[in-house]
Structure 1
Amino acid sequence: MMTGDRDGTLLGSVQRAIAVVDVVANARRPLPVKAIAQASGLTLGTTYNIVRTLVHEGVLQHEPDGLILGHRFSSLQPERTDGVFLARARATLREVSGELGVAACLSRFADGEVHVVDIVEGPHKPRVPLWVGPQDSAHASAFGKRILSDLATEDRLDYLARHPLKKLTRNTISDRRTLLQHLDTYRSASIDMEEYVLGYHCLAVPVQAPGVIGSLAVTAPAEAAPIDVAQVVKRMQSAASRLSLTLGADGLA
């Protein structure tokens, strides 16, 4: 990754640090140090030392599942990268998960498909197992239905034409007309009452910015204590609005 130093004035330590940042900035998931070392071609010991320094300076930050970009990165690299999008998403998901005590998920529509960007588990409530990929289950999951609701009519019909409405549970809406009516009915939030997988409920609100159609969702076991849905939606919408503003300001389309 490092370029040649013909006149002997380049600092190898800086080049190695940039290589580490490049790897994290272009990753779609948090990366452990070993993965960063392998991708950058650096030794594990050198990578640990660089990571420790970059975390101290706020360029990288530790998460339970690996490293992501830190709060100072946007001032160094304003261009759009998957890593920047992940860092923004993770901050919001940790906020929502910590506040509500449940698993939180961010999804987005890109290249004609629904993609899960990131998931943060609740402190005592694990995330819903994604046993069917999001590209084949948007009609059954709250986060997928939220995105389908916000698509232009032409894009929504194109998506449904390419994806059969599989009956994932006894509660799944598998009739096209019924699903379209459902999508038009729930405009501010979408809910999944054991439609994707038995034993879990899911609630989703929109996340929208220039070039971004997404959804912020929370999941919890069906046997969990009853919640004030209206209050939870209000708090989620507040977090989603802040994230939408951040994504728009960063130009992360």
Structure 2
Amino acid sequence: MLRRAVTALVPEEDPDLGEVFTTSAQLAIALARCARLNPFRLTQEANPWASLRPAHLTHARRRALGGRAPTALASVHQALRVLEVVNRHTGGVSLAQIARETKLPQLMLARVMEHLVRTNLATPVGPGAYVAGAALVLTGVSGAGGPGQLPQTLAFVRDAVGAAVYVGRYCDGEVSITQYADGPTAPVVEEWVDFRAAAHASAVGKALLTQLDHDGRKDHLARHRADRLTEHTLASEQALFRQLDDRRPNAPLLDLQEYAIGTVCAAVPLTSGPNAECVALSLPGPDPRRLRQAARVLQNEAAAVLLALLVSGTAPAPLTTAG
């Protein structure tokens, strides 16, 4: 059995490593049997979806990580500090001056400037000098930009992840999709069940529920019962809350065919103001590797979406944090 499992492996081309072999569930079971382990106990770990499931955190570990600022929010604070300096120097400002005023490290500042230029929030006017970009209308430290800034950012993220992307918000006790970007090769999810009634089964809903306290979650599920929409749906309130609480810090929330068979989704919480928000993607096919790659890109671009929400005036400015 082990010989068959090994010979069945198909090599894949890696841009850095060349030809590589990746493991499979069949190989994991064969190895378990050779080691005289229970293969059924290892099947969950051999499942390609398992790497996407959130790891369990102990109570002590959650407390230790609780004080860390969300990565997306920290990145937005950095961008807002840079935008304030660029906007104040109407005739242009050098990168060295921006670094002195913001006290950001050189590499971090370079990444921030790259994003601001890409999204037309800053414009280079010479070697290492910048002015406010066409998309920026800044007043004080917080801003209000043109209505095209958010759609432009969502379109970029859509192309980056190769999937339809959404902005979700929890307002007045309900889940809503406030913005989305789709395309011919990035179709949106068919809303066969009202999203407001499916928070327990959708990545958007989970990303919003995870930002509510226990009473807020209980209130929502009291009004919207956690019905089983597919065989993969978590219809148990206790199991759902455990999944939300055991999520690794900054890890995306997932919908692995829980809302609709044949569709998988990932969502990243966006913490800025009084209303819970998130950015999400949907893929029309249960491909764990593609979802894992897309979710990683979505995490990297979450700060860009949050910044676009702030600049477009559709989200309140985040509170200033120390450091």
Give the TM-score of the pair, scaled to structure 1.
Answer: 0.62
2:276 to 198, 210, 213: 213
Q: Does residue 202 in structure 1 map to residue 265 in structure 2? A: yes
Cα 1:72–1:248 shift into 2, 3 Å: closer
Shift of 1:234: 3.4
Within 5 Å, give how 1:149-188 maps onto structure 2. 149-187=210-248, 188=251
Using a 3 Å threshold, how does the CA distance of structure 1 residues 144 and 75 change in structure 2: closer, same or farther?
same
Counterpart of 1:131 in 2: which secondary structure?
A: coil
Aligned residues: percent identity?
30
Higher relative contact order (CA 8 A, sep 6+): 2
Amino acid aligned to 1:196: Y
Counterpart residue identity of residue 206, structure 1: P
Correspondent of 1:148 among 197, 204, 209: 209
**Structure whose CA Rg is larger:** 2
Write out per-residue CA displacement over residues 6-34 of structure 1, whole angstroms, 9 at most, x where no aligned residue: xxxxxxxxxxxxxxxxxxxxxxxxxxxxx
Deviates more, 1:137-146 or 1:210-219: 210-219
Provide structure 2 residue ranges, at least 5 long, that are not aligned to the other structure.
1-133, 317-323
2:137–2:144 CA contact under 8 A, matched in 1: no
Q: Give 1:239's aligned residue.
A: 301
Offset of 1:75 from its aligned partner? 6.4
Superposed counterparts of 1:79-158, under 5 Å: 84=147, 87-158=148-219
One-letter amino acid matched to 2:195: P
Decide whether aligned partners of structure 1 residues 189 and 72 sit closer, same or farther in structure 2, where only a CA change above 3 A counts.
closer
| Distance in structure 2 (CA, Å) of the matches to 1:161 and 1:238 | 34
The secondary structure found in structure 1 opposite 2:290 is: coil
1:73 Cα deviation from its structure 2 partner: 8.2
In the alignment, the residues of structure 1 paired with residue 208 and residue 253 of structure 2 have an alpha-carbon distance, to the nearest angstrom, of: 9
Question: 1:228 Cα shift?
Answer: 6.5
Q: Which residue of 2 aligns with 1:25?
A: none
Letter matched to residue 256 of structure 2: M
CA distance in 2, matches of 1:149, 1:109: 11
Partner of 2:33: none
Q: CA deviation at 1:151?
A: 1.4
| Equivalences, count | 179
CA distance, structure 1, for counterparts of residue 195 and residue 291 of structure 2? 27
Q: For 2:279 and 2:154, how far apart are their aligned partners in 1?
A: 8
Contact 1:90 1:120 in 2 (8 A): yes
Is contact 2:164–2:187 with CA below 8 Å preserved after alignment? yes
For normalisation by structure 2, the TM-score amounts to 0.49
Partner Cα separation in structure 1 for residue 244 and residue 235 of structure 2: 13
